[in-house]
Amino acid sequence: MLRFRAGDLLPTDTLVRGPLCGPPAPLPTRIIGPMLLSPSHRQFVTHLGLFAALLYAPLAAAEALRAGDRVLLVSTRPVGCATEAATLATGVEGAEYTGCWNAVDAPATLATLDPSTPTIFYVHGNRIEPSDARVRGLAVYRRLVACAADDRPIQFVIFSWCSEKERGLLRDYRVKAARTRPVAWQLAWTIDRLPASTPVGLLGYSYGARVCSGTAHLMGGGSLSGLTYSPSTECAGCRRPLRAVYLAAAMDACWLSPRSYHGQALERLESLLVTLDPRDPAMKFYKFVPRLADPPALGDVGPQGLDAAYAARVCTLNVASAVGHSHDLYRYLAAPGVMPAAWRRLTFADAASLPTPTLAAASSHAGDGA
């Protein structure tokens, strides 16, 4: 039996030579707490191996995309929290992944995407540097297609926003919470660059789920503390098919209810999958982020206060047994059932054959793959 102490590096000499064309770097696989490796820990080791594979697969196998797929990066970091269309049109950066990243004109490239192919936007969480956004985004793409139920092509867009670490833990969380408001507008603007009929899936993690929810709310005609989004003339009313999956959603559990802060989101979304983990420390810590209340997080207890019409569009999936006391993205990606369910929703693979489960039915079958 082997014991690793907190802070130890896993024994490995594997190096990363990146699709980002940077120098090799050792695997940053520090242990967060005491870990015993024994036959009884097989599930943990399996998950750990998957995390490493997602992040650091050898390039010979990892850099290739599936036939027909496209992977893009859209970064609004250069424009900060701007919500003026003219500023975004000239300031947003773009890149396309073809084994390495090549700079592209983001608005022009989005306009060339195939309107008959689902376009999935992955929105990362807090404290993510630009390089991490690319690495994590590619890991999400690879996990998603590895769980694909069919070979339909997808267009995958990594949406990178200004989430770099701020000084002070609680201050950082509050600053980023406020920042998700303009970033939601920026994502709506980005989606608006697509051909009007393109089906869109939103995959948000942590504060990224909060961004996606705000975007759906804006696209449904809602307002975020006075901030509204008016679709461009090319968008034909922004009524494109829209679905979402929220992993570890760091937002108020009541916000999706009618007349609440994101109350128009479910008016706009055809289907929403929400993961639940009451043991996730970030979900427990979330109640300290708002200054005047202590609401539970959506990723902790699920959506609250929904009417029957909204509840019929929502499915929850409890992943506590797989993710445990962690807020790690890769644990959520590895949780059984999560990414296969995400594939079905975000690619609209179930549109013709499977009914959208209700919130009540999904909750009673949590863990069945949704």
Residue 211 has pLDDT above 90, yes or no: yes
pLDDT score recorded for residue 230: 87
Neighbours of 62 (CB within 10 A): 17
Judged by DSSP in three states, 71 sits in: strand
Residues facing residue 271 across a β-bridge: 243
Rg of the chain (C-alpha set): 20
Q: Which CATH architecture has domain 65-364?
A: 3-Layer(aba) Sandwich (3.40)
Where does residue 336 rank: exposed (0-12), middle (13-18), buried (19+ CB within 10 A)? middle
pLDDT score recorded for residue 359: 59
- How would residue 367 be classed by pLDDT, with cut points 50, 70 and 90? very low
Nearest to 257 by CA among 316, 310, 314: 310
**Structure tokens of 141?**
């793409």
pLDDT score recorded for residue 292: 84
pLDDT score recorded for residue 64: 83
Query: DSSP states of 88-157 as a string?
Result: HHHH-EEEEESSSEEEE-HHHHHHTS-TTS-EEEEE--SS--HHHHHHHHHHHHHHHHHT-SS----EEE
For residues 16-24, average pLDDT: 34
pLDDT score recorded for residue 2: 39
pLDDT score recorded for residue 88: 98
Judged by DSSP in three states, 306 sits in: coil
Residue 14 has pLDDT above 90, yes or no: no
Residue 12 has pLDDT above 50, yes or no: no
Nearest to 54 by CA among 153, 151, 138: 138
Query: Among 49-53, 166-170, 191-195, whose mean pLDDT is lowest?
Result: 49-53
For residues 134-141, average pLDDT: 98
Where does residue 295 rank: exposed (0-12), middle (13-18), buried (19+ CB within 10 A)? middle
Neighbours of 328 (CB within 10 A): 16
CA distance to 26, 162, 352, per residue, from 251 (Å): 35, 18, 31
Residue 129 has pLDDT above 70, yes or no: yes
Query: Among 1-5, 49-53, 84-88, 157-161, whose mean pLDDT is lowest?
Result: 1-5
Where does residue 151 rank: exposed (0-12), middle (13-18), buried (19+ CB within 10 A)? exposed
pLDDT score recorded for residue 279: 98
pLDDT score recorded for residue 48: 54
pLDDT in tens, 347-366: 999 864 444 455 544 443 44
According to DSSP, residue 220 is labeled T
For residues 163-192, average pLDDT: 96
For residues 228-247, average pLDDT: 78
- How would residue 213 be classed by pLDDT, with cut points 50, 70 and 90? very high
Residue 321 has pLDDT above 60, yes or no: yes
pLDDT score recorded for residue 239: 75
- Global pTM value: 0.81
Query: Among 26-35, 57-66, 124-133, 349-358, whose mean pLDDT is lowest?
Result: 26-35
Domains of the chain: which residue ranges? 2-53, 65-364
What is the spatial distance between Cα 124 and Cα 59, in angstroms, rounded to a whole number?
Answer: 23
Q: Which residues contact 204 (CB under 8 A, 6 or more apart)?
A: 122, 123, 210, 211, 212, 213, 244, 245, 246, 247, 249
Residue 194 has pLDDT above 60, yes or no: yes
